[in-house]
């Protein structure tokens, strides 16, 4: 979102409302930079679900009043789905101010909460959120999805049509190019394996890192296959607890690496795993895959076959897809990949080529075009309303 805001600010004034600590703009504003308004907020740990939900509601209400204060009828508001309560208050505030509104859907609610096991598909809150979605989606002027599999989910809502939906995938944040496997890579050396299976990133409630650990247990007698695991979130905490309770000699745990070391870290693996729980189609898209592709590594994704990442892997032949929450199937896929190292390398080389289609320049250009179109439409509406008053 920082990069999107900075790109848009090159062409016109942009205001950002955020809870990021210490982000507020200092006056005078630097030319071509967005103005940042920081909302002081309280965010408990991710495992404190009730308290965090309350904090999300509180923050969204704060943003609602901030939008009412600053938005004008000729403006366009761009929101995200984190926290999940935010889009509803932003869209309502935009409606009141007669401003246009657009939403980037990183995770689709309430489907994500159902997938994570927090809500039942038929619960009152699930039905209430779907009802709120009907109104919000109707009010929105544009919707950005980052995966093709989200569109069918949105089109299930009444009065939704494809004209509102814009596919703008996320992008790789590092230079694109196949990196050769290097045995002197310090992260690779920490494992000592001939074939290194890696996993990293946020292991949240929609992910299933436990199946990766169980797959490592199944493959513990394969001396050539080693697991390099890193991350954050509740799933990462669970992995550390499992390794402490029943240590596996083929598993190496590394705390989240700084951005300055990310390229070396991603290049350390022969193959990367992105493990999702069941029913992730159209619900969540793993943005981490683009950096993995950028360094030229194939991916094993634990996912339904019709999810965005699975579709991409099969279309481009740059990885493997296995059923979610099935450690034995995952172990078999890993063993197959380890037996076909030349094929794995070829998939990685193709992955780097595919990554060249998911760049910052391409995606930010799409956001710029979208916002330009919405601003022009809003300006026309504003002028028409002034003429009606006159």
Instruction: Give the pLDDT of residue 389.
Output: 62
Residue 259 has pLDDT above 90, yes or no: no
If you ran DSSP here, which 8-state letter would residue 158 be given?
A: T
Whether residue 108 sits in one domain with residue 59: yes
With a threshold of 0.85, does the pTM exceed it?
Answer: yes
Whether residue 50 sits in one domain with residue 91: yes
Domain-located, residue 364: yes
Domain-located, residue 49: yes
Domain-located, residue 176: no
Domain-located, residue 339: yes
The beta strands (E) that lie in the chain are given as 15-18, 35-38, 76-80, 100-105, 142-145, 165-167, 195-199, 225-231, 251-255, 271-275, 299-302, 319-322
Domain-located, residue 200: yes
Residue-wise pLDDT tens digits, 21-51: 888 888 888 888 999 999 998 887 766 677 8
Q: How many domains are contained in the chain?
A: 2
Whether residue 333 sits in one domain with residue 368: no
Whether residue 41 sits in one domain with residue 22: yes
Q: Grade residue 287 by pLDDT with cuts at 50, 70 and 90.
A: confident
Question: Phi first, then psi: what are they for 372, rounded to 5°?
Answer: -60, -45
Instruction: Say what angle helices 209-218 and 327-339 make with each other, to 10 degrees.
Output: 60
Average pLDDT, the chain: 92
Q: Grade residue 10 by pLDDT with cuts at 50, 70 and 90.
A: very high
Whether residue 321 sits in one domain with residue 254: yes
Domain-located, residue 179: no
Whether residue 324 sits in one domain with residue 198: yes
Question: Phi first, then psi: what are they for 70, rounded to 5°?
Answer: -105, -25
Instruction: Say what angle helices 341-355 and 327-339 make with each other, to 10 degrees.
Output: 100
Residue 390 has pLDDT above 60, yes or no: no
Whether residue 161 sits in one domain with residue 101: yes
If you ran DSSP here, which 8-state letter would residue 148 be given?
A: T
Domain-located, residue 177: no
Whether residue 53 sits in one domain with residue 14: yes
Whether residue 272 sits in one domain with residue 341: yes
Domain with residue 289: its CATH number is 3.40.50.2000
Residue 381 has pLDDT above 90, yes or no: no
Whether residue 320 sits in one domain with residue 370: no
Whether residue 376 sits in one domain with residue 279: no
Distance of CA 4 to the CA centre of its chain: 15
Whether residue 192 sits in one domain with residue 307: yes
Q: Grade residue 380 by pLDDT with cuts at 50, 70 and 90.
A: confident
Domain-located, residue 178: no
Domain span at 89: 2-171+359-389
Contact 44, 55 (CB under 8 A): yes
Q: Mean pLDDT across the stretch 138-162?
A: 95
Q: Percentage of residues in the chain with pLDDT exceeding 90?
A: 77
Residue-wise pLDDT tens digits, 309-339: 999 999 999 999 999 999 999 999 999 999 9
Residue 267 has pLDDT above 70, yes or no: yes
Provide the 10 A C-beta neighbour count for residue 128.
11
Instruction: Give the pLDDT of residue 232.
Output: 87
Instruction: Give the pLDDT of residue 145.
Output: 96
d(CA 189, CA 170): 31
The lowest-confidence range among 62-66, 222-226, 375-379 is: 375-379
Residue-wise pLDDT tens digits, 219-233: 999 999 999 999 888
* Sheet with strand 165-167: strands edge to edge: 76-80, 100-105, 142-145, 165-167
d(CA 249, CA 72): 60
């Amino acid at each position: 979102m920082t990069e999107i805001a900075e790109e848009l600010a090159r062409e016109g004034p942009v205001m950002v409302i955020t809870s990021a600590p210490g982000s507020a703009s200092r006056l005078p504003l630097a030319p071509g930079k967005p103005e940042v308004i920081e909302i002081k907020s309280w965010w408990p740990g991710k495992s404190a679900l009730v308290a965090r939900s309350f904090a999300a509601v509180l923050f969204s209400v704060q943003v609602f009043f901030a939008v009412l204060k600053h938005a004008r009828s000729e403006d366009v508001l761009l929101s995200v789905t984190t926290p999940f309560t935010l889009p509803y208050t932003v869209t309502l505030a935009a409606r009141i101010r007669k401003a246009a509104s657009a939403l980037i859907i990183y995770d689709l609610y309430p489907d994500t909460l159902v997938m994570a096991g927090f809500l039942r598909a038929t619960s009152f809150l699930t039905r209430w959120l779907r009802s709120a979605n009907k109104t919000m989606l109707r009010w929105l002027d544009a919707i950005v999805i980052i995966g093709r599999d989200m569109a069918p989910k949105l089109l299930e809502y009444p009065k939704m049509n494809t004209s509102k939906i814009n596919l703008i995938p996320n992008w790789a944040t590092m230079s694109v190019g196949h990196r050769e496997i290097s045995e002197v890579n310090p992260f690779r050396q920490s494992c000592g394996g001939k074939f290194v299976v890696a996993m990293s990133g946020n292991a949240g409630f929609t992910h299933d890192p436990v199946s990766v650990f169980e797959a490592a247990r199944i493959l513990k007698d394969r001396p050539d296959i080693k697991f390099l695991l890193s991350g954050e979130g509740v799933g990462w905490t669970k992995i550390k607890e499992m390794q402490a309770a029943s240590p596996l000699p083929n598993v190496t745990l590394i705390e989240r690496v700084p951005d300055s070391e990310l390229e070396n870290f991603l290049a350390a693996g022969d193959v990367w795993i992105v493990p999702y729980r069941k029913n992730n189609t159209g619900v969540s898209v793993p943005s981490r895959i683009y950096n993995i592709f950028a360094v030229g590594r194939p991916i094993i994704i634990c996912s339904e076959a019709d999810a965005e990442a699975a579709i991409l892997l099969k279309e481009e032949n740059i990885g493997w897809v296995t059923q979610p929450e099935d450690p034995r199937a995952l172990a078999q896929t890993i063993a197959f990949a380890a037996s076909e190292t030349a094929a794995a390398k070829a998939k990685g080389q193709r992955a780097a080529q595919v990554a060249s289609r998911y760049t910052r320049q391409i995606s930010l250009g799409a956001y710029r075009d979208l916002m330009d179109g919405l601003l022009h439409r809003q300006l026309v509406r504003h002028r028409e309303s002034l003429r009606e008053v006159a």
